[in-house]
Structure 1
Amino acid sequence: MTTSKAAVGIGAESPEHARPVHGIIARIAAAAMRAPKITLAIAAALLVVSGALGSTLTEKLSAGGFLEPDTEGSRAAAVLAEHFGLTSMQMVFTVTGPAGATGQPVIDTGRRIATELRAEHDVAGVLTPWDGTAAGAALRSTDGTIAAIIVSLHGNDNQAMNTSHRLAERFTGSDSAVTVAAGGPALAYYEVNHKATEDGSRAEMITLPLSLLLLALLLRSAVAAAIPVAAGFVAIGGTVGLLTALSTTTDVSVFAVNASAAMGLALSIDYALLIINRFREYLDDGSEQHAAILLAVQSSGRAVVFSGITLALSLLGAMFFPMGFVRSMSIAGIAVVTLSVVLALTCVPALLVLFGERVERRRNPGRPVQESRFYRIARFAQRRPILVTIVIVGSLLGLGTPMLGIRFGLPDDRVLPRDAAVHQVGDTLRERFPVQLAGTIYVAMPHVSPQQMAGVREYATAISQLPGVTGVTGTVGNYGGGAQLSAPAEAIDGPAYLAVATPLDPNTTAGKDLLGAVHALPEPTEVLVGGLAQQNADIVGGIRQAFPRALAWIVISSFLLLLLLTGSVLLPLKAVVLNSLSLSASFGALVWVFQQGHLGGFGTVTTGVTVCTIPIVLFCSTFGLSMDYEVFLLSRFKEEWQASGRTRADNDRAVAIGIARSGRVITAAAVVMVVAFSGLIASGIAVNRVLGVGMTLAILLDATVIRLFLVPAVMRLAGTWNWWAPAPLRPLLAKFQLQH
């Protein structure tokens, strides 16, 4: 019996496949299949619109968003910016000449630049070595050859970074007498933004054709390979359009663009591969092409939706963290996951309707699953379950041990390549100046009364005596070594501040100890401590506070979804534990390479800290991505288990056959994900490279060591207990269980 395109059942197939096609997923796919050309035309139109919208996206992206808005450091920064023109978004000009910082050419050029800067309405304040202040004296290099000009800028991160670029273009350059270079955090943000955008565009030009080539080899069909890549291409374009729309209501991080584009490509190809694999299986079982497409979408489409929900919920866990960078990544990730699922349920069936025959033209039906390499791997693990489990779990725990030494910090100009001018200026400031300009601790006092002045002077004197402090300046005078170095300041009835100069790096233990010592001093009035060391402390505190809630959300939501999928209590627990193992190994490797500097830090500059937001983003995204493979495998296991006699041997067979049937598509999906994330690894921005390596390592571990070896070994040890649920829960699970 043949099946027409309007059929809802299959005639020429085995009885287990002869079931009606129903449900919203099948109806969506059927609608796309009835009008495939219109479906693809709509996708193409959306792609064009997204491209037009995306042309303005670069101007709206943010390279910041690492700080929490309501912390002590942020409130101190607000006081300093509002009352004293000292903003956290600063840029630095270095002026160098043959006669050094005291030579007339450097002095004349520096004063001219300072005068013109003070006339700029986007400039909040300017500090130079020629101001006659104690703070200005620290703006000459220790060898006296370089002068620095500190410029505080008005506006948010985006406005300040654009202002810094405009000012750098205006004032930097060299002649026979003087060389002027520019750096600082605001200009670093600008360079990161534009470098990341360029890297992303270049990566897409490489990853798309490379993905096509690899898929053609893996699927043994150029047309079959083109369908997932076409979906991935639309996903990238759609991602840009979605992020452009999001940028009108919230800040969008430049890193979110790179990471979500890579994720969109990887997921779209991943989901398309799953459907194509099922489509081929139904054809091998004797189904007619159109019916095979419907059945493939009905079975694998539900796995795609389920996987997308799981990943979206994991990404939603990042919303527990208050940093704008993390929330931006979360929103962008959820948007691109949704888009990838929609493309899988519409464009992939439409493409299969048009090109399905050509997908199969040169392919012979697959061999029996028992003859596949993946079946043999699963049986190998099942024959030696204790040995396999001990070796793999021990190895993963060993790889994860460096994570115990993780230290969080904020990114600076060193995330840029070494040859970037901003990076070189930063190195000059760190290595050749008497104090760490980035390490200055600011003490903001929102209100000081005349009666509190004596206590404030004693407080400033006490700070100047702390180990590691070279001097204290501000509105209440200059102090050093426990003595007041300037005439007493006039009585203040309003805000005041102190700037604590130090040669200590704020990311070091000594720098953190100094911050603790400042906090430990008795406060004469309300005091808000700011600066990079305080911002680091605020971020670590925020992460520690939010992480338990995010972890609970991700673990509980994943557990409940897998419980509904499998009807088992043990399998969701197993999934959470194994995912945690692979993630801990990935994090340990990242700390070992990028924080501790082994293997040359993969070409990055090691600062001794891990950028604070990276573990959050990696945990939320890779936990969900790992669940992709878990959902695909469990769906297969469950199908085989339900069709069996449900004995211990049937459990082992269900696992082995499930891995054999899904192994090829999981391997192909993992390879494509590695290719997609390779664009991040090749980026010149260290943050992107760490994200790319982290995601790649987690995916490789998950798709190979975990799914092919550890899962069959652990499920062999558990036997029929894999499918156990408490008796009181069974009726409820049977009622609400998600069927595949």
Structure 2
Amino acid sequence: MAVNTRPRSARTSVADPALRRLGFLLVRRRRLVLALALVGFVVAAVLAAGVVPRLSLSRFEAPGSESDRAQAELVERFGTGSPDMIFLVTAKSGTVDDPAVAAAGRELTARIGREEGVAEAASYWTRDRPATLRSGDGRHALVLVRIPGDADHVRAGVLPGLVPKVTVGDDLLQVRAGGGEEVFREAVPLARQDFVRAELVIFPLAFVLLWFYQRRVVAAVVPILAGVFAMVVGLALLGGALLFAEISTFALNLTLAMGLGLGIDYCLFVIQRFREETRRGAERASAVAGAVEHAGRTVLFSGVTVATSLVVLLALPFDFLRSFAYAGVAVVIGGLVAAVLVLPAVLATAGGAMVRKREEAERVAGFWHALALRVMRRPLLSGGAAMVMLLVLASPFLGLRFGVADDRILPPEASSRQTQDVIRRSFPAEETDAIQVISKSTAVGDISRYAASLSRLPGVAQVDSAAGSFAAGGRVGDGDPARFAGRGAWVSVVPSAEALADDPVRVVEAVRSVEPPFEALVGGYPAELADYRSSVVDRLPLVLALMLGMTFLVLFLMTRSVVIPIKATLMNVLSLGVMFGALVWIFQDGNLSSLLGFTPTGTLDASIPILMLCVAYGLSMDYEVFLLSRIKEEYDRTGDTERAVATGLQRSAPLITAAGGILALTFAAYATAQVSFVQMLGVGMAIAVLVDATVIRAVLVPSLMRLAGPLNWWPAGRASTSGR
């Protein structure tokens, strides 16, 4: 076996005397620390309870974009805007054109317009009966409602009172609510129900897994309590972020899932080191100090790595994604406090209950040690086979198509989803998703010719303007000229239902490609989604550069090596590729949709994959830090790279596998969620964690480190390495 050696004088310890002193201090002041932790937990719980109601209902908007400015111009100069709400009106007998039904429809429209918070209401019966607001069979018609204000005002302030009043119906009409605001209003309580149901499964299963790994009840309970501590502290810290930022309510799920997972991970690492120190004969105080000195340092580096991976989301100008940066940093802080400050005091007080009465001697050569040696004997074969397997699993990623989220994120039984299903199935177009083209000034040209040109575009069902309504290049009616009165001109381009289902962004691009007779802004819901998606994708290189650069720096500071951070980055990219391959294969292409109970749309919304990219990358680096810290410690002690890898894997792989299994379980529990966003996050993260904690760490790390040899430790170790 090839051996890498380095002179004893050149060895550098990874120990941290300051952390060792901290460990002894926590032992001496353990009662005070535990008392402060208990008081802090109670205070944090009170603060956390007040945070949840203050979380926001964010929209997919790109502030300052063309569509954002178009909407502002439409409201300011024309007193109108995109509808926020749809009411689907069904005639209980006959058609919506029957005189009695039409009269009831007009009265319903007027009544909705008088409701508090409603700025504008229009319907099939008040807009000269356009075909776009009537179903093909004549049984259904639409009422469009505009409700000004932010998402919190609309979804939490207006809709809870408006929807029950309107959907009561009468002898002639049945009324159902739909539209984007209603869809996401329904999604929030469902996501919270998903969390409660998942946690009811996670806690008992986590306890069982921890008991099998630790074989001590106290050692199984303490990490779970640490996870709860991290969750509560993380939520409380979000209260501070709410003073200067909006936090999406969907960040709650990430806070609770990551808080539990990281709290358990970090505590397991410290407890294992405490047990190792105890096996070597250290007294309890020294064992605690040793655990803080070595494991505490690793946990701190790991926490910084995870937080760094998430904080790059602040580079995106979207409150929805920024929310997860604040949530991620908050739970990392909670987990670090639990593992590095509170747990040592617990170990000093009750550490004996976490050590087996007949603690087995430390096994230097075991399964993982033998596996590492087998891999390193044939590194090209072992590493190459693992890499080929991962690339095959990642290959569906090549077919990734970004799209936009719609009502199909909800389960089929959700009322707004059912409303949208009827509209998608029965209406030739979706008026609520009209694209608006607004003149920037009062000078306008030939509106009639421009509207006719727009109506000839593929995917456009109708164009409405002050000059009339147009379809397929011809004028089909007078429309509602009063609707377009104001300073300047604007036209409404109504896409067909098929075009919206296929690719609404393509319709927006086609509209923007037609030369208008005036300097124009293009807005409307499809344009907002197009601008949002474009802004997210355009900033993706910046996010990736920041994430890779900052985590590279953290790993360099820990290992003093340039090669190891590069290698770690490449391996994490592989695990991310597998995760994205699974997302495309399952959620985009629809495989396993019947088993998981979601409706595939053929695309993935850009926001969730980018969020998962940052979370998964951080957690992958988390396990990389755990493993590298043990390898580096052994290398500093012996100067033998292969021995360091084998011993480091033997000492850390059981922990990484157990911690990875528990964290994967935490995320996998969300596979039963009712909201597909939450399902996607749970399934994707579970796959990424499992792949990273097994194939990546057990096969690729040993094979690549064996191939790199002395270069692993360049520049710090190369000059002082001799022999083989």
For residues 178-197 of structure 1, give each alpha carbon's deviation from its aligned partner in whole angstroms, at most 9, with x where no partner exists.
Answer: 32211111111211111112
* 1:319 paired to 2:314: yes
1:197-212 alignment, distance < 5 Å = 197-212=192-207
For residues 130-161 of structure 1, give each alpha carbon's deviation from its aligned partner in whole angstroms, at most 9, with x where no partner exists.
Answer: 10336x54222111111221111111011111
Match of 1:577 among 570, 578, 585: 570
What secondary structure does 2:97 align onto? Answer: coil
> CA 1:432–1:235 in structure 2 vs 1: closer, same or farther (change >3 Å)?
same
* 1:498 paired to 2:491: yes
8 Å CA contact 1:21, 1:295 repeated in 2:
no
What secondary structure does 1:148 align onto? Answer: strand
User: In terms of mean alpha carbon deviation, does 155-164 or 483-492 score higher?
Assistant: 483-492
Structure 1 residue 300: Cα displacement = 0.7
Structure 1 residue 47: Cα displacement = 3.0
Aligned to 1:536: 529
Structure 1 residue 88: Cα displacement = 4.8
* 1:595 paired to 2:608: no
Match of 2:606 among 598, 605, 612: 612
For residues 383-440 of structure 1, give each alpha carbon's deviation from its aligned partner in whole angstroms, at most 9, with x where no partner exists.
Answer: 2211122211112222222222222223222111111111111111111112134542
8 Å CA contact 2:133, 2:142 repeated in 1:
yes
Match of 2:684 among 694, 707, 716: 694
Distance 1:504 1:288 in 2: 72
* 1:334 paired to 2:320: no
For residues 199-257 of structure 1, give each alpha carbon's deviation from its aligned partner in whole angstroms, at most 9, with x where no partner exists.
Answer: 22332333223212210111111101111111111112222222234334322112211
**What is the root-mean-square deviation of aligned Cα atoms in Å?**
2.6
Structure 1: gaps of 5 or more residues: 1-15, 732-740
Residue type matched to 2:698 in 1?
L
Aligned to 2:472: 481
Match of 2:259 among 258, 264, 268: 264
Match of 2:659 among 640, 665, 669: 669
* 1:703 paired to 2:693: yes
Match of 1:80 among 74, 86, 91: 74
Structure 1 residue 108: Cα displacement = 4.6
> CA 1:697–1:111 in structure 2 vs 1: closer, same or farther (change >3 Å)?
same
Residue type matched to 2:452 in 1?
T
For residues 45-94 of structure 1, give each alpha carbon's deviation from its aligned partner in whole angstroms, at most 9, with x where no partner exists.
Answer: 33333333343444333343422111112222222344445445612111
How many residues align? The count is: 705
Distance 1:31 1:56 in 2: 34
Aligned to 1:633: 627
> CA 1:246–1:513 in structure 2 vs 1: closer, same or farther (change >3 Å)?
closer
8 Å CA contact 1:61, 1:158 repeated in 2:
no
Q: Compute the TM-score of the two structures, normalised by the length of structure 2.
A: 0.92
Aligned to 2:3: none
* 1:380 paired to 2:374: yes
8 Å CA contact 1:640, 1:654 repeated in 2:
yes
8 Å CA contact 2:278, 2:284 repeated in 1:
yes
What secondary structure does 1:62 align onto? Answer: coil
For residues 659-682 of structure 1, give each alpha carbon's deviation from its aligned partner in whole angstroms, at most 9, with x where no partner exists.
Answer: 000011111110110122134322
Residue type matched to 2:459 in 1?
G
Match of 2:218 among 223, 233, 241: 223
Aligned to 1:456: 447
Distance 1:241 1:302 in 2: 25
What secondary structure does 2:464 align onto? Answer: strand
Aligned to 1:10: none
For residues 577-619 of structure 1, give each alpha carbon's deviation from its aligned partner in whole angstroms, at most 9, with x where no partner exists.
Answer: 0000110111011011101111227321111111111121111
Residue type matched to 1:149 in 2?
V
Structure 1 residue 702: Cα displacement = 0.3
* 1:273 paired to 2:268: yes
8 Å CA contact 2:402, 2:606 repeated in 1:
yes
8 Å CA contact 1:439, 1:504 repeated in 2:
no
What secondary structure does 1:138 align onto? Answer: helix
* 1:716 paired to 2:706: yes
Match of 2:422 among 417, 424, 428: 428
Match of 2:292 among 285, 290, 297: 297
Distance 1:576 1:19 in 2: 22
What secondary structure does 1:368 align onto? Answer: coil
* 1:568 paired to 2:564: no
Structure 1 residue 549: Cα displacement = 1.4
What secondary structure does 2:94 align onto? Answer: coil
Distance 2:61 2:140 in 1: 31
For residues 100-145 of structure 1, give each alpha carbon's deviation from its aligned partner in whole angstroms, at most 9, with x where no partner exists.
Answer: 32345643543333222211241121121110336x5422211111
Structure 1 residue 565: Cα displacement = 1.5
Match of 1:99 among 73, 94, 107: 94
Aligned to 1:522: 515
Aligned to 1:153: 147
8 Å CA contact 1:670, 1:703 repeated in 2:
yes
Aligned to 1:194: 189
Aligned to 2:458: 467
1:400-439 alignment, distance < 5 Å = 400-437=394-431, 439=433
> CA 1:89–1:636 in structure 2 vs 1: closer, same or farther (change >3 Å)?
farther
Residue type matched to 2:454 in 1?
I
User: In terms of mean alpha carbon deviation, does 121-130 or 55-64 score higher?
Assistant: 55-64
What secondary structure does 2:209 align onto? Answer: helix
Structure 1 residue 367: Cα displacement = 4.4
Structure 1 residue 696: Cα displacement = 0.8
Q: Compute the TM-score of the two structures, normalised by the length of structure 1.
A: 0.90
Distance 2:370 2:326 in 1: 41
Residue type matched to 1:640 in 2?
E
Distance 1:667 1:323 in 2: 35
Distance 2:235 2:282 in 1: 39
What secondary structure does 1:598 align onto? Answer: coil
Residue type matched to 1:652 in 2?
E
Distance 1:442 1:474 in 2: 10
Aligned to 1:8: none
Distance 1:164 1:71 in 2: 27
User: In terms of mean alpha carbon deviation, does 499-508 or 660-669 score higher?
Assistant: 499-508
Residue type matched to 1:312 in 2?
A
Distance 1:640 1:510 in 2: 55
What secondary structure does 1:343 align onto? Answer: helix
Residue type matched to 1:461 in 2?
A
Distance 1:32 1:509 in 2: 61
What secondary structure does 2:516 align onto? Answer: coil
Distance 1:89 1:335 in 2: 37
Distance 1:326 1:95 in 2: 36
Match of 1:725 among 685, 693, 715: 715
Identity percentage of aligned residues = 36
Structure 2: gaps of 5 or more residues: 1-10
For residues 338-384 of structure 1, give each alpha carbon's deviation from its aligned partner in whole angstroms, at most 9, with x where no partner exists.
Answer: 221122111111211221011114452244220x2211221221122
User: In terms of mean alpha carbon deviation, does 84-93 or 670-679 score higher?
Assistant: 84-93
8 Å CA contact 1:61, 1:193 repeated in 2:
no
Residue type matched to 1:352 in 2?
L
Match of 1:658 among 648, 661, 676: 648
For residues 21-63 of structure 1, give each alpha carbon's deviation from its aligned partner in whole angstroms, at most 9, with x where no partner exists.
Answer: 731x445544443333433333333333333334344433334
Structure 1 residue 507: Cα displacement = 5.3
Aligned to 1:234: 229
